[in-house]
Chains A and B, each alone.
Chain A
Amino acid sequence: MIGLVISGLVQGILTGLMLAFLTVGMTLIYRISRLTNFAHGSLFVVAMYLTFALSRSIDINPLLFALVITPLMACLGWALYWGLIHPIRTRHHLLAVQLLLGLSFVLDASILIGFGGDLQSVESPFNSRFVHILGTGFTMTTMIGASISLVGLGVLALAIQWSDFGRHLRAVANDNLAARLAGLSVERLEGLTWALGVGMLGIIAPPMSSIVTLTPDIGLQYTVLSLVILIVGGMGSLVGTIFAGLVVGIAQSLGLLFLPGSFGALLPYALLVGVLMLRPGGFAALLVRS
């Protein structure tokens, strides 16, 4: 029993790290451009299918494809901002939500047309190697995915705290008008944030694509999961997002272990509703208040 709980916890932390890294892109975009990326999950699925397509044609370790996919996704995010978001950025934010929802329809349908509706998975040599933590075996892919997330989150935190780009981003996030008056090109920074936020999906997509089973219609699930983490974390706080990602990951894996049937899948949603009822500010409100 105790062993089961511990292995569930470790599994939850590993998944949670990856979920946090997945959501941080969305958090950044929300912080800087005040828009919620409802196409986040679909863009993630696009990145995973890119990995799948590359792994079918080139026979090297799929994790290396991140080197190609990340710049591609970053360009896509940048183009997305200038093509679709920039024209309507001064309008009501729910208009952008609908636009991005429409975009996610387009992405999902394109994947369905391009790859068909069959279940796919990416073969990785790391899937058959195991690492033992506290008596439970985890695949090498999971370990690498979680470590990439951990390192990525650390690098991102350092960059935002210490680099000029990070200072600019924080300035725009704190006061858009003041940043503009101080001579920052807010539009350019917003475009770069979209590139960064979407590009980060290209880093985490190769390990995730060997963990989960791919179908074209899972985009919305990832969007909703990211939204849950974003809101539970407190709408735009990076530290809150990381905490929320860990909590949602742990809740998911413990729910799958101990709750009957598919009720485990309820937990993230129940967590969201509960947090909104009790602490509308999310985890960030808890952190800041103390």
Chain B
Amino acid sequence: MKAVSVQFGFNALVALAAFGAIEVMPHYWIGVIFLAVIYAGVASAWNLAGGIAGTFSFGHGLFFGAGAYTSVLLFTNYGLTPWIGMLAGALIAALTGMAIAWLAERCAIGDLAFAVMTLAIAEMAYICIDSFEPFGASRGISLPPASGVAAMQFSSDALYLWTAIAFLVICQIVVAAFAQSARGYRFRAVRENPLAAQAMGISPARERMIALAASGALTALGGSIYAQYLLFVDPLTFFGPSITIKVILFALVGGMGTVWGPVIGTMLLFPLGEWLRGLFGGNVPGFDSLLYGLLVIVCILLFPRGISGTVNYLFRGSWPLRSRRKK
């Protein structure tokens, strides 16, 4: 538990540093940092399933969209506050994740088939929502303006950013707690060798169901907060494949399977992409995806462990402390 409290302390420190920065930040960058924080939380959530437990999902857009749509629909139809609505969304996403992992285990499909199956399920959800009239089809749903903390609609963007940071902190606490507990070791055992894990008395099916459920629930929370920020949901933004792929690339550059890697990767890549888009946006559209793609290729060829993984690898053991004393 000591390591968990260290993580928590680090989180608090980052938050304090952020507090000063947000007060003086221009409006545009608050929006960018807000999105980066949301992406970081989702990347971290994806990493819990895809990086730590080896449940390589291409369908996290499904969870993201499920969270957003659940809280928005509950608010517009029944007036339920999004603070509770997002928990309902998280529950739905967790159950969906569990069902997907169960189906995959039951049919004993491989890694690759699992990735493509999650992609197919997410695409099916996207197409269904896109032509389902009660949910606004492809036009999406706009939230009625109802300013107030109860409706999770704030007057300033800084407050949205704080909500997003709280979400990221929750994600990191959950992921760190998973990664450092016995369950985290079981996740890694299942990732490395399911057969050997089974021989040790670990049930791969159960571990994968738990990993995907937790990961889906956290992703759904991020979707709800993002929907509140936009005051609008539509299928392409929330269910489309682009968010999943971006999140996977961020997690990869940061370092898959590490607790902080996905957050570091997102925090570096996303603002960089936005800055470049602002720099070249007018005359060169698509420049930021070109950059993402090139970075990912370079990253895999030069340091496939990612930023965080490479740092861990270089500082493994205690060589900075290794003394000159003769052996």
Q: Which residues of B in the span 116-138 have a Cβ within 8 Å of any Cβ on A? A: 116-117, 119-121, 123-124, 127-128, 130-131
Q: Which one, A102, A108, A231, A272, contacts B286 given CB within 8 A?
A: A108
Q: Tell me if B12 counts as interface (CB < 8 A to partner A).
A: no
Residues of chain B with a CB closer than 8 A to A263's CB = 127-128, 131
* Contact across chains for A273 and B297 when beta carbons are under 8 A apart: no
Q: How many residues of A contact B (CB 8 A)?
A: 44
Tell me if A203 is interfacial: C-beta within 8 Å of chain B. Answer: no
B245 at interface (Cβ–Cβ under 8 A)? yes
> Which size class do B's interface residues fall under?
35 or more
Knowing A84-B297, A93-B111, A105-B296, say if A273 contacts B289 (CB, 8 Å).
Answer: no
**Which of the residues A84, A105, A273 comes within 8 Å of B117, measured between beta carbons?**
A273
**Interface 9-mer from A110-118, A126-134, A160-168:** A110-118
A106 touches B290 (CB 8 A): yes
Per-residue 0/1 for A68-111: is the Cβ within 8 Å of any B Cβ (1 yes, 0 no)? 00000000000000001001100101110111011111111110
CB closest chain-A residue, reference B121: A273
B124 neighbours in A (Cβ, 8 Å)? 266, 269-270, 273
A88 engages B301 (CB within 8 Å)? yes
Tell whether, in the assembled complex, residue B287 and residue A99 are in contact, meaning their CB atoms are under 8 Å apart: no
Contact of B56 (CB < 8 Å), options: A84, A94, A103, A276: A94
* Residue in B113, B285, B295 whose beta carbon sits within 8 Å of that of A276 in the complex: B113
> Which residues of chain A are within 8 angstroms of B111 by Cβ–Cβ distance?
93-94
Interface contact A113-B284, CB-CB below 8 Å: yes
Q: Which B residues touch A265, using CB under 8 A? A: 127
Pick out which of these stretches binds chain B: A4-12, A175-183, A186-194, A220-228. Answer: A220-228
A261 within 8 A of B: yes
Which B residues are in CB contact (< 8 Å) with A277? 103, 107
B127 adjacent to A102 (CB under 8 Å):
no
Kindly provide the distance from the CB of B46 to the nearest chain A CB, expressed in whole angstroms. 13
Contact B297 A94 (CB under 8 A): no
Measured between alpha carbons, how far is A283 from B241 in the docked complex, in Å?
A: 27
Q: Give the chain B neighbours of A235 by CB distance below 8 A.
A: 112-113
- Residues on B with beta carbons closer than 8 Å to the beta carbon of A273: 117, 120-121, 124
Q: Is the CB of A94 within 8 A of B115?
A: yes
Chain B residues with CB under 8 A of A261: 131
Asked whether A252 is an interface residue with its Cβ less than 8 Å from the other chain, the reply is no
**B304, A91: Cβ atoms under 8 Å?**
yes
Best-buried of A87, A228, A235, A272 by chain B (most CB within 10 Å): A272
Which residues of B are found within 8 Å of A36, using beta-carbon distances?
112
Does B79 sit within 8 A of A, measured CB to CB? no
Whole-angstrom distance between the alpha carbons of A257 and B293 in the complex? 38
Question: Is A57 at the interface (CB under 8 A from chain B)?
Answer: no
In the complex, which residues of chain B have a beta carbon less than 8 angstroms from the beta carbon of A107? 293
Contact, CB under 8 Å: B112 / A105 = no
**Top 9 nearest A-B pairs by Cβ distance?**
A105-B293, A102-B296, A112-B286, A106-B293, A109-B290, A109-B286, A261-B131, A269-B120, A109-B289
B residues contacting A by CB (< 8 A) are 56, 103, 107-109, 111-113, 115-117, 119-121, 123-124, 127-128, 130-131, 241, 245, 248-249, 252, 284-287, 289-290, 292-297, 300-301, 304
Q: Which residues of A line the B interface, CB within 8 A?
A: 36, 84, 87-88, 91, 93-95, 97-99, 101-110, 112-113, 117, 216, 220, 224, 227-228, 231, 235, 260-263, 265-266, 269-270, 272-273, 276-277, 280
What are 19 inter-chain pairs, A to B, with CB distance below 8 A? A88-B301, A95-B300, A95-B304, A101-B249, A102-B294, A102-B295, A102-B300, A103-B297, A105-B290, A113-B287, A113-B290, A224-B123, A227-B116, A227-B119, A231-B113, A265-B127, A270-B124, A276-B113, A277-B103
